[in-house]
Structure 1
């Protein structure tokens, strides 16, 4: 039987233990990560945490609803079962409890609901040599790398990264970046390796925040200045990271979504698409 648990009722030790043995394990569903991005998150649980489903709850004027948090790509159903997990039963439970919801499942969840929207996650396994990986770059990527600014990657500070984000937020509200320092602190506390790298040419041209979780190099956020875009700085950053982690068991997780231009950029580096679903009901 599926049970609903409020935030304070969730046994975080059991929760994270299920994720640790899960074939669907992801950074975004770790209890400490959810505590940062969705402080009032609740959960659906079956049995003694054999199956778990995080609920990113928000409250507006007493009206509770579910919404996918910023910097959180996939949630959904998790279990130690080593097979794809059908999520329809859990979605039906959510439909009865919440009038409004908008969240994403993970790539190991299956669903029959017609209104589910397929999205793409772009991943690049890095087992091959750099030469082999580079040979799979699209022609346009190889061409842009020849034209891009050539420099070694540098470690940049969190303050520099956020400043560049705020200067180039393209109309996005500045408050959405308030969570980055909180996530940074949570990564340090929980032993997650952080890669905060950038390119400079007199000024900071571009910066990217990656973290290493299990065997995945996850791109959480990136930004380029107008000068950085002119110099194709992000092409150089991605190429450097592929070279650094080539011939390893790592997977470069670009993330993705539904923005066609972003997806094509990642696929140009040889990434493959993995489908996950967005489920929503709005009024």
Structure 2
């Protein structure tokens, strides 16, 4: 059995593997993915799926399209003492890393992964980024109370003015709204309509997604792509209709996604935070916990180093 076959079997059994590194997700977003597996006796101690690209003879590992996190996943023994947890993670990460070979690395780890020393010792540069995580263990009323008072007011008004429904067939409109928004900012889209549709269809097949659409008098105001795995829910892509001026719709849609995530029993809602000042402020006012995640980069290719220098 190959590592990939072993991992596919593991994905059928383990209920805590994040959606972004599940085998079916990787099948959609990668052309050439593989996986490193570390064992602890006869049990899997950790896995590290990775996507390999080849450009100009250079092997590159980086996050695939529409995949915010691509990182090792550790299976901690149930009887592991808390004092040994970090050492176990370090040892497993090292074992996994030794199995992966590439000239260029540029990947975003999962929030909460903190093995900075390991990556620095292996020649990586570390760039911290941020997201906001909303814990969902509390009751919905207390979660709602975490929101900024202006957001709570807007959501209450939106409840009287907007209808919010799950409309998967409107995914092309979401892509068009997103493209129009980024074009206005002169920002390049990192995915095309075919890529987002293919991934969305796969999520539908695995019953882990919804496309929330806010309408006012029948007119679409905004759309949000909501997805989830066994423990966490995510806001992956969302956009306002550029032809309307309603500023409450996105706030209402995010609250809808949070509320539905709570009803499904998810532990956390991940805003997929941004370093953009405006987006950061918008997410921050929902009352989530600011959480750092690491972007790790490394290159041993002279050709790639020259390319980066020329790009400035």
TM range (shorter): 0.7 to 0.9
Q: Is the 8 A contact 1:195 1:211 kept in 2?
A: yes
Aligned: 1:106 with 2:123: no
Distance 1:104 1:15, change over 3 A: farther
1:122 corresponds to which residue?
132
How much does 1:66 deviate?
Answer: 1.3
TM-score (norm 1): 0.81
Residue in structure 2 matching 1:163, options 176, 185, 189: 176
Greater helix fraction, Structure 1 or Structure 2: 2
Distance 1:177 1:12, change over 3 A: farther
Residue in structure 1 matching 2:28, options 36, 52, 70: 36
SS of residue paired to 1:118:
strand
- State which structure, 1 or 2, has the greater radius of gyration over its C-alpha atoms: 2
Structure 1 residues without counterparts, runs of 5 or longer: 1-7
* Aligned-pair Cα RMSD in Å: 3.1
1:3 corresponds to which residue?
none
Structure 2 residues without counterparts, runs of 5 or longer: 78-84, 300-304, 306-312
2:76 corresponds to which residue?
81
Q: Is the 8 A contact 2:11 2:23 kept in 1?
A: no
1:4 corresponds to which residue?
none
Map residues 1-283 of structure 1 onto 2, 5 A cutoff: 9-15=2-8, 17=10, 21=14, 25-47=17-39, 49-81=44-76, 83-84=85-86, 85-86=89-90, 89=94, 93=98, 97-111=101-115, 112=117, 113-114=119-120, 115-142=125-152, 144-145=154-155, 150-156=161-167, 157=169, 158-170=171-183, 171-173=187-189, 175-189=191-205, 191-201=206-216, 202-228=218-244, 230-246=246-262, 249-250=265-266, 251-281=268-298, 283=305
Q: Is the 8 A contact 2:128 2:295 kept in 1?
A: yes
User: Greater shift after overlay, 252-261 or 240-249?
Assistant: 240-249
